[in-house]
Structure 1
Amino acid sequence: MATAKCLEGLEPKRVFEVFSELSEIPHGSKNEKAISDYIYTFCKKLGLETYQDKTNNLIIKKPATSGYENAPTVVLQAHLDMVCEKNADTVHDFKKDPIRIMRDGDRIYADGTTLGADNATGLAFAMCVLESKEIPHPALEVVFTADEEAGMSGIKALDFSRIKGRVILNLDCSDEGIVVGCAGSSVVRMKLKAARGPLKDSMVCMKLKIRGLKGGHSGLDITKERGNANVIITRILVDAENELGAQLSWISGGLQTNAICREAEAVVAVEEKKRNEWKVLIERWENILKKEFKVSDPEVTVISEEVGNADDCFDQAGTERVLDFLMNIDSGLIAMNMEVPGVAETSGNVGTISTEGEEITVRVNYRSGLESKKRYIVEKNRRLARAFGADFLVESDSPEWEYKADNRLSSLVQKVFEKRYGKKMVVEVSHGGNECGTFFKQFPDADIVCSGTQITGAHTPKESVMVSTIQKEWEMLCLTLKEMLEY
């Protein structure tokens, strides 16, 4: 595979080459077989002990370099999958099309889609360490997991008996420094049925669209109070039902549960004689949203267009039932962490809504740094579903990763950073979730640190990473491995 032209000439050369090669292989969540096979072959050619399981997880082992035989084994961990988000007008099939990498000076991004630096940079770092004959390091166990972004089913299937190391360096994304604790999460799916019926001859159908929102990572960006298109469109539909007697035909929004929904659409039927009232309502909501989101989402737009009549729609009682249900789902920032200033404790994200016939399906991602609060908010939704007679399922669940004050790996990484850059390193507890929680649950005595490239616009088509950041984080990884003799 050829290196993307925009990355040619960048150092470290091999890191950018491998990153480019990985970007050629479609590897969205649940579609990791090809990239897992590629890395498996890569490692076998190096003569390394390589294990691949049925879920496409990989465990690769490399002996220590000379002089590091007595240093503790280090586990390097990254995930194989990426979040697949694109702009509505971007033509891209994530199941077969390569990511089109772009660069503007220091900034690397993709053409209308997510870049996949989350977590292809981590994969590239680990693969380059495995390949190198020059980087000093202890014995390594490299763990690449599937499906981190859409449920963490990969790490749940991982054979932890194959892992001996208790010094774990997660290479997933971080913000400005290292992460030493994270939230747990649960994705719940609710399916609600409501009655439908034919449209009256006196009604016309209007399509409502929400556009211009920034979206973002449903954990890391939740404190920025960005608009969720699924929530916003529900609010508008409630007003349309209250004031105009509008009936819902269908509603759709979002692509991923771990991304704040940027775009949503719905078709409603209104009495033809109320066209002007509909127009006034839309204009009013445009003004409301411009005021509410003037800081976080100043480009939010409400679009209305008349469309051909639908075959049927939810009847009046069915429309009320759907909207009552959607309005009662917790979403957004729920509680702040009282111990760690500026970090969310508990949150919810109405990630996706879809309509199929008489059934509305909603998927919500709940996060909390406290297991008890996560259970509480999930139980609230279970009982909401029960009250409405809706189907309820917890699709995925992952544990939180508790902060440890005596983390020796954290102390070592901070020491390396301060020696190299002459300043203190930022140490964070994150509201984002990663696989460190599962490692912590399996190995409570382990020292765990998450250290990866800082991503801007994670889980959105504006995802980008800086060349200078990749260079710094690669240097930090190499220095940390070198200094493991001091652990």
Structure 2
Amino acid sequence: MTTLSQLSPQPLWTIFEKICSIPHPSKHEQQISAWIQSFATELGLTVKEDKVGNLIIKKPATAGMENRKGVVLQAHMDMVPQKNADKVHDFVTDPIEAYVDGEWVTANGTTLGADNGIGLSACLAVLQSTDIVHGPIEVLVTIDEEAGMTGAFGLEAGWLDGEILLNTDSEDEGEVYMGCAGGIDVNVTLPITRQPSNLNQQAFVLCIKGLKGGHSGVDIHTGRANANKLLARFLKQFSELNLAIHSFSGGTLRNAIPRESQATILCDTNSVSALKAAVTDFNQTLVAELSAIETNISVSLEPCERPDDQLSAHSQLALINSVNACVNGVIRMSDEVEGVVETSTNLGVITTEANHINIMCLVRSLIDSARTNTQLMITSNFELAGASVICTGAYPGWEPKAESPIKDLLRETYQSMFGELPKIMVIHAGLECGLFKDAYPNWDMVSFGPTIRFPHSPDEKVKIDTVAPFFDLLVNVLKAIPAKP
């Protein structure tokens, strides 16, 4: 069986294989940070850690390149922790089981971490190399990109000297990104009251599962279903069954489309047959509607131990109606960039506590005013249900610049290497570039990377034959960086 370290370019894949062996989910980057610092120190390079945990590594120019403009290579060190329900895996302690699957590298039942592990590996491979020609280089490795962009928010002026930033966090080889969406988290707390369940009820776990999930930005336009929305739809559609809800939970991350959602429900004994028929009917309906995209969707009903309590009728109605009515998915396509989503929202996480229900949505938009309007729509919906809503973690979009020397250089270099022009794009996802503008307003920035599919889901994979062109492009751009004026 081919191992990752046998792939080309070997230095990059060897580093990525090592990264996969070190647990590094968001909020738990200590091990990977320590390894990166050791990696740089062993190369004799200067490495510093700022107050939030970002790493800055400096490598001098190769001989004859000292007068070139300084370049900052940038990646984030954390990964999204998502796994299949039947996969036993602890992201804080267990390595990622990466393997070659035909034309792709993927992982066994979990996210792979190619987002942004391949980009990070490319940056470190440049540091390690003794034959890549380049001017002064700084590598900026940020923390917590996937769960709040804490590192980008905390980056301070004065740490970096470069004039150009090359972000490696894009996911389509042949595309160059010059802008991205901003976003905000909408955090809902819905108070609930409970009442005792009764002996004439049978309890079941109703589950929507088998969905593809994926990145709530780059996959939001693909028609993938949201498990939380489907579960609320069932509970609303079959309200005549007088089901009682004990708990409702679905999704694990606000920036991942929920793949599974489940409710513990109670049903009067004389309505159990009707409930089972409704589940069968709903399953058939979803297959008919969604099977072109969701090839493994299923609705299941399993008996469970009867809980002692259930939501009051008022609380249950507020939950079902507000989740069912909450806007989700693409809100509007861009008028400026063909084929790009302008504004979207993802109802990412629902959890049930003793006396309240937590709901997390992530709103994205290329336009700040449209982002605000969408968060206000969500707020209005849940406030009508009696919930309190707090919006946090707002980050700006990265507005494209018409005049960008690094964009022009990268485009020309790509054309000379591959005989065609790359696509100049804007991505409907949060890149850290927009936040870097606060501390480094004069940076000329661009983002590019290899082809990665289904990031933020256990189906995540990176196309092997796009990694070498990505890395070769990076190397050739570094060689072509112009001299300082």
TM band (smaller chain)? over 0.9
Per the TM alignment, residue 385 of structure 1 is displaced from its structure 2 partner at its CA by 4.0
| Structure 1 position 253 matched with structure 2 position 250 | yes
**Any conservation in 2 of the 1:187–1:395 contact (CA below 8 Å)?**
yes
| Aligned pairs (5 A) from 1:22-33 | 22-33=19-30
Q: Deviations over 1:36-76 (max 9, x none)?
A: 11111211222222111243210111121122222111111
| Aligned pairs (5 A) from 1:122-271 | 122-176=119-173, 177-240=175-238, 242-271=239-268
CA distance in 2, matches of 1:166, 1:485: 11
| Structure 1 position 420 matched with structure 2 position 417 | yes
Letter in 2 for 1:266: A
Q: Deviations over 1:322-359 (max 9, x none)?
A: 11222232211111111111111110101111111121
Unaligned runs of 5+ in 1: none
Per the TM alignment, residue 370 of structure 1 is displaced from its structure 2 partner at its CA by 0.4
**Any conservation in 1 of the 2:155–2:436 contact (CA below 8 Å)?**
no
Partner of 1:440: 437
Q: TM-score, normalised by structure 2?
A: 0.96
**Any conservation in 2 of the 1:399–1:441 contact (CA below 8 Å)?**
no
CA RMSD of aligned residues (A): 1.6
Partner of 2:401: 404
Is 283-292 or 225-234 further displaced after alignment?
283-292
Is 378-387 or 249-258 further displaced after alignment?
378-387
Per the TM alignment, residue 78 of structure 1 is displaced from its structure 2 partner at its CA by 0.3
CA distance in 1, matches of 2:384, 2:4: 55
- Aligned-residue sequence identity (percent) comes to 37
Letter in 2 for 1:318: S
CA distance in 2, matches of 1:389, 1:140: 53
Partner of 1:458: 455
**Any conservation in 2 of the 1:254–1:351 contact (CA below 8 Å)?**
yes
Q: Secondary structure at the match of 2:482?
A: helix
Letter in 2 for 1:361: N
Unaligned runs of 5+ in 2: none
Q: Secondary structure at the match of 1:29?
A: coil
* Number of aligned residues: 483
Q: Secondary structure at the match of 1:222?
A: coil
Per the TM alignment, residue 441 of structure 1 is displaced from its structure 2 partner at its CA by 4.1
CA distance in 1, matches of 2:106, 2:393: 30
Q: Deviations over 1:416-459 (max 9, x none)?
A: 11111111212211101110111234444322111112101111
| Aligned pairs (5 A) from 1:35-434 | 35-176=32-173, 177-240=175-238, 242-434=239-431
CA distance in 2, matches of 1:34, 1:205: 43
Partner of 1:481: 478
**Any conservation in 1 of the 2:5–2:17 contact (CA below 8 Å)?**
no
**Any conservation in 1 of the 2:24–2:78 contact (CA below 8 Å)?**
yes
Q: Secondary structure at the match of 1:162?
A: coil
CA distance in 1, matches of 2:452, 2:367: 25
Letter in 2 for 1:113: T
CA distance in 1, matches of 2:163, 2:286: 49
Per the TM alignment, residue 105 of structure 1 is displaced from its structure 2 partner at its CA by 3.0
Partner of 2:466: 469
**Any conservation in 1 of the 2:170–2:177 contact (CA below 8 Å)?**
no
**Any conservation in 1 of the 2:61–2:136 contact (CA below 8 Å)?**
yes
**Any conservation in 1 of the 2:69–2:162 contact (CA below 8 Å)?**
yes
Per the TM alignment, residue 5 of structure 1 is displaced from its structure 2 partner at its CA by 6.4
**Any conservation in 1 of the 2:69–2:483 contact (CA below 8 Å)?**
no
CA distance in 2, matches of 1:5, 1:39: 26
Per the TM alignment, residue 372 of structure 1 is displaced from its structure 2 partner at its CA by 0.8
Is 200-209 or 362-371 further displaced after alignment?
200-209
CA distance in 1, matches of 2:121, 2:437: 24
CA distance in 2, matches of 1:114, 1:81: 12
Is 324-333 or 437-446 further displaced after alignment?
437-446
**Any conservation in 2 of the 1:225–1:333 contact (CA below 8 Å)?**
no
Q: Deviations over 1:267-293 (max 9, x none)?
A: 111111111211221122112211221
**Any conservation in 2 of the 1:99–1:115 contact (CA below 8 Å)?**
yes
CA distance in 1, matches of 2:97, 2:52: 27
Q: TM-score, normalised by structure 1?
A: 0.96
CA distance in 2, matches of 1:109, 1:402: 33
Letter in 1 for 2:390: L
CA distance in 2, matches of 1:381, 1:297: 26
CA distance in 1, matches of 2:71, 2:445: 10
**Any conservation in 2 of the 1:455–1:463 contact (CA below 8 Å)?**
yes
CA distance in 1, matches of 2:441, 2:459: 36
**Any conservation in 2 of the 1:68–1:485 contact (CA below 8 Å)?**
no
| Structure 1 position 34 matched with structure 2 position 31 | yes
Letter in 1 for 2:197: L
Letter in 1 for 2:365: S
CA distance in 1, matches of 2:454, 2:271: 40
Letter in 2 for 1:145: T
CA distance in 1, matches of 2:183, 2:258: 17
CA distance in 2, matches of 1:426, 1:220: 16
**Any conservation in 2 of the 1:72–1:138 contact (CA below 8 Å)?**
yes
**Any conservation in 2 of the 1:29–1:83 contact (CA below 8 Å)?**
yes
**Any conservation in 2 of the 1:151–1:187 contact (CA below 8 Å)?**
no
Letter in 2 for 1:466: K
Per the TM alignment, residue 28 of structure 1 is displaced from its structure 2 partner at its CA by 0.4
